[in-house]
Amino acid sequence: FQRAHPGVQLTLHLSDGVQDLVREDIDLVLRYGEPRDSSLVARRLRDNDRVVCAAPSYLQAHPPIRKPADLFRHNCICFFLHGEMHDQWTLISRKGEAQRLQVAGDRSANDGAMVRQWAVDGRGVVYKSRLDVQADLDAGRLVPVLGGWRGEPTPLYVVYPSRRFQPARLRALVDHLAVYFAR
């Protein structure tokens, strides 16, 4: 984007938390899941879902995971944010039936990248956004488990405050992101 728009200055703030765009004067954010704040503009960039996966080294050393209940015998690495542990994983069968499981493990983090790294290192099973781990799945560093089950949908959105006179550079960035994620 900056090659096409060299005069635009970007400041990247990485956070797994939900930011108040107006109060914090943030131009836009990328968020997974359906937007909750109707005062913001949300543009869907890409379909996405969560995936249960683990490193091959972890799977070789532990019992197979063939059905959702098997996760109760595994070290499930969880994400937490603002004091809320994300230890309830929703899995959807091919028939569309949802099962919600409360999992447990020996570690959790408030950073999605750390949760991912522990999985790659063979420390346990994770429930991650497919977009976050797709490169690991493609490279074989992580392997999806529970064939026939999928995680809940978590589409990717670009979200920004509703402004009557939106700067052209912001519109250009939103359009650029839409093209990028359409690939």
Task: Tell me if 32 sits within 8 A of 48, measured CB to CB.
Answer: yes
**In this structure, are 145 and 164 located in the same domain?**
no
The parent domain of residue 2 ranges over: 1-47+155-183
Distance CA 52, CA 126 (A): 6
Low-confidence ranges of the chain (pLDDT < 70): 16-17, 163-165
Same structural domain for residues 71 and 123? yes
Looking at the fold, whether 88 and 109 belong to one and the same domain comes out as yes
pTM, 2 dp: 0.84
Q: How far is 53 from 125, CA to CA, in rounded Å?
A: 6
The pLDDT value given to residue 91: 98
The predicted structure's pLDDT at residue 113:
94
Nearest to 117 by CA among 54, 52, 72, 30: 54
Residues 133, 61 share a domain? yes
Q: What is the pLDDT of residue 29?
A: 86
pLDDT value of position 16? 67
Judgement on whether residues 31 and 104 belong to the same structural domain of the protein: no
Q: How many domains does the chain have?
A: 2
pLDDT at 30: 87
Same domain, 135 and 115: yes
Asked if residue 82 and residue 143 are part of one domain, the reply reads yes
Q: How far apart are CA 99 and CA 94, in angstroms?
A: 12
**Given this model, what pLDDT does residue 116 score?**
98
